[in-house]
Amino acid sequence: MKKFLLKILIVLASVLVLFCALAAFDVFVVGGMFKYNYQASVVDKLERLETVTGPKIILVGHSNVSFGFDSERLEEAMGMPVVNLGVHGSLGNTFHEDLARQNIGEGDIVVVCHTDFADDGKIGDYPLAWITVDNNAKIAKIIRPTDYAGMAASYPDYLCNSLFNWVTGRGNRDYEDSCYSRTAFNKYGDIERRPAVLAVTEDFFKDANVTVPGISEECIKGFNEFCDFVRSKGAEVVIAGYPVAYGKYSEFTEEDFNKFEEKLKAAASCDVISHYADYFYPYSYFYNTALHLTKEGAEVRTDQLASDLKAWQNAKQS
């Protein structure tokens, strides 16, 4: 029996050594294989966040933020530089908030545009998170201890994909004809390239499942902790609306969103500066999903946010 157990331990130890060797090879020889992926935009977004001096507007949220603003237009309207930190909803609310934490300064305005306040604070898609980190220590440190187990479990999948891309030469491709590419973003962090092939029709919204957001106690607790952190840096944080596709297939009413809005105002420790119904947009303003906007839609939303921010600033001064 002892000999059998010893053989099992030797096999397990050999597998562990081999795995560690492959991991070391991936880190020190292969390097990142997703440098032009959509997720790699995080590198550029963080660089802008860290290099913009003076009070700035920081846009926080999921892909509705990256596909939903004209930051240069907002910058001109508000007289403040803008940093768009929107990435991907499957990374979770907390990940996006933690991106902003990397450089919040006095006088900054952090604008949060989450599409719900009901997640559990963890990353929702760990393989996607690995592609986002992709051998970048600066991004890796953003991962919270609560996500370590999930990240560890999904690492073999990332390792295999990384090694496969290296061996086949498929890694680090720049997909110049896609919106899901690092090069599709402009210097502010906005998606600028929207290939027409991904435009949506009205019929797309039959099954788009556009619903009223949820609110959970766990999510609000984490969000309010983030608000406390922002204020500790001499900055301010507000919640703003996100684009809601509204048309003949909608199974909700303005009153449904008004109830959500009132509940959010009561739960959040910061100001909700938007009336969500002001962000109800026709289907023609949407691009490739029920949360991404066309260039025209992004301009309309940007103007609405600027109006909301100015109204909030005026109310504070009065």
Does residue 317 or residue 42 have the better pLDDT?
42
> What b/e sequence results for 178-206 when a residue is b if at least 16 CB atoms lie within 10 Å of its CB, and e otherwise?
bbbbbbbbeebbbbeebeeeeebeeebbe
Q: Is 131 helix (H, G, I), strand (E, B) or coil?
A: helix
- Of the pLDDT bands very low, low, confident and very high (cuts 50, 70, 90), residue 31 is confident
Q: Where are the domains of the chain?
A: 30-317
Q: What is the pLDDT of residue 242?
A: 98
CATH architecture entry for 30-317: 3-Layer(aba) Sandwich (3.40)
26 pLDDT higher than 70 = no
**Cα 120 to the center of its chain, rounded Å:** 15
| Dihedral sign computed on CA atoms, order 111, 116, 121, 122 | negative
Question: Given the DSSP bridges, would you call strands 57-60 and 109-112 parallel, antiparallel or unpaired?
Answer: parallel
9 pLDDT higher than 80 = no
11 pLDDT higher than 60 = no
Residue 95 CA to residue 116 CA, distance in Å, equals: 14
Confirm if 42 and 87 have CB atoms less than 8 A apart: yes
| Dihedral sign computed on CA atoms, order 129, 66, 188, 33 | positive
Which residues have C-beta within 8 Å of that of residue 36, sequence separation ≥ 6? 172, 173, 174, 175, 181, 182, 183
Q: Which helix (H) or strand (E) holds 5?
A: helix 2-25
CB-neighbour burial class of residue 53 (10 A; exposed 0-12, middle 13-18, buried 19+): exposed
pLDDT tens-digit readout, 33-59: 999 999 999 999 999 999 999 999 999
Alpha helices in 197-243, H assignment, sequence order: 217-232
Q: Rounded mean pLDDT of the chain? A: 93
Q: Where on the phi/psi map is residue 253: left (φ > 0), alpha (ψ -120 to 50), or beta?
A: beta
Percent residues over pLDDT 90 in the chain: 85
Residue 269 CA to residue 215 CA, distance in Å, equals: 14
**Backbone phi, then psi, for 256, in 5-degree steps?**
-60, -45
pLDDT tens-digit readout, 53-112: 999 999 999 999 999 999 999 999 999 999 999 999 999 999 999 999 999 999 999 999
Rounded to 5°, angle at Cα 79 from 76 and 80: 105
Quote the tokens at residue 210.
């556009």
* Among 22, 43, 34, 25, CA closest to 171: 34
How many helices (H) and strands (E) in the chain? 11, 7
Q: What is the pLDDT of residue 281?
A: 98
223 pLDDT higher than 90 = yes
User: pTM for the complete prediction?
Assistant: 0.93
**Cα 14 to the center of its chain, rounded Å:** 39
Question: Given the DSSP bridges, would you call strands 244-245 and 109-112 parallel, antiparallel or unpaired?
Answer: unpaired
Q: What is the pLDDT of residue 176?
A: 87
- Of the pLDDT bands very low, low, confident and very high (cuts 50, 70, 90), residue 175 is confident
Residue 93 CA to residue 103 CA, distance in Å, equals: 17
